[in-house]
Amino acid sequence: MKKTLLAAALLTGFAGAASAQSSVTLYGVIDMGIQYQNIKSKSIHYPIGSGTADPATKTSMTNVGLTSGVQNGSRWGLKGVEDLGNGLKANFVYESGINATNGSGNNGFTRQSTVGLSSNSWGALDLGRRTSPGTYAFSGIDPFGAAFGTAALDSSFGTQFIRYSNMVMYTTPNMSGFTGSVGYSFDADLAGFAPTGTGTTLPIGAAPFAYETNNKTRVISVGLRYANGPLLLGAAFDQVNAPSSLNLNQDKVTAWMIGGTYDLKAVKLHAAYGQQNGGIIEGAGTLRSSQFGGDTNARGGVLFANGAKTQSWMFGLSAPVGGATRVFASVQQMLPGGSFDGPGVATNNQTVASIGATYDLSKRTNLYGYYSYTDNYQMLRGVSTNTVTVGIRHRF
């Protein structure tokens, strides 16, 4: 249960603000599980399309242990609202990620750090770091709730769940079920990479050019959403502009996606389709999940690759079982195209099949478990992963 913060006066640095605003709230999630993960490869090739095998790479790796942030990223945060009168409100959110397995943080409020204004009549304006318009539009379309490691939809749809820094975002009021949002980031704070001729990757936006506006990773992001009765529809478009100092043949990556759900009461149907051109936005999504845990506190990335294309699709189901249990499953694919495909290129269709369940112990605490199999992981031919996780999530 979220609690109004007179207690926040005990937190260093927030004492004055907390005592002055009765609407300030402390909230959070602690999510921890036990995970088994195995990655196998006949021969790993890197980067995508190089066709060059690394003879030192192991053909099989297994890891078992505790992991944080499976169903939801472990976090704590502060949020507050002030009524300014005439329907206008000021608000802020500061949210920090936690690795629950060892108690460490992620260097500040990097999950969300926003201040803004909102009104029922004209909508909301937020400034700072937060999830994208597309993330908002697609909320609820993934049967796995944009979580559960490789089972999450962003394994194939890079912008389905992503955060941008330095963003101005406007969201319309709800108009008969329709909402829209648009955002522009002056510097998205994505880990950006470009392929080189040496089989490595080159970080972008480095000094001495990093402080010029056109040498930052700028993003245009749009989301549309319709929710009414049993039907939910979402659409999103993102364009990530590469820093000009890198002198790439590819100066931007674009991504679009559409999806929806239909609730038949006994079961809910989920589906989505999307494309990316000029590279992969949030291309580290599946890779991040293989690095044991897939905690949603992790930073995103973008790969700029001239002529590269992908198509992605997903079908899924979710259903309540009794009063406390929910089951869900999905199959998704990411298909390489353009320079990601062709003679001599070591790629193939990535397929992810997953099933999971949650069991509520109370309104705030639940158990969960899931299994996810990935074939041709990261579109690398012959690479597969198996992941099994059980855990507990507590919200406060």
Query: Could you tell me the CATH number of the domain that includes residue 182?
Result: 2.40.160
**pTM of the predicted model, to two decimals?**
0.84
Residue 106 domain-assigned (yes or no): no
Distance CA 216, CA 58 (A): 37
In a domain? residue 56: yes
**Residue 206 structural domain:** 34-70+132-395
Assess whether the previous peptide bond of 195 is cis (omega < 30° from 0): no
- Residue 191 placed within a domain: yes
- 98 found inside a domain: no
Number of structural domains in the chain: 1
In a domain, 113, yes or no: no
The long-range contacts involving 369-372, CB below 8 angstroms and separated by at least 24 positions, are 370/70, 370/144, 370/148, 370/149, 370/151, 372/148, 372/149, 372/150, 372/151
User: Does residue 282 lie within any of the structural domains?
Assistant: yes
Note the pLDDT of residue 280. Answer: 87
Report the pLDDT value the prediction gives residue 391, as an integer from 0 to 100.
97
Which segments in the chain show pLDDT lower than 70?
A: 1-22, 43-58, 106, 191-212, 245-249, 283-300, 343-344
Residue 352 CB-half CA count within 13 A: 35
Q: Assess if residue 385 is contained within a domain.
A: yes
389 within a domain of the structure (yes/no): yes
Percent composition of the chain: helix, strand, coil (DSSP 3-state, to 5): 10, 55, 35
Q: What is the pLDDT of residue 108?
A: 85
Q: What is the pLDDT of residue 159?
A: 87
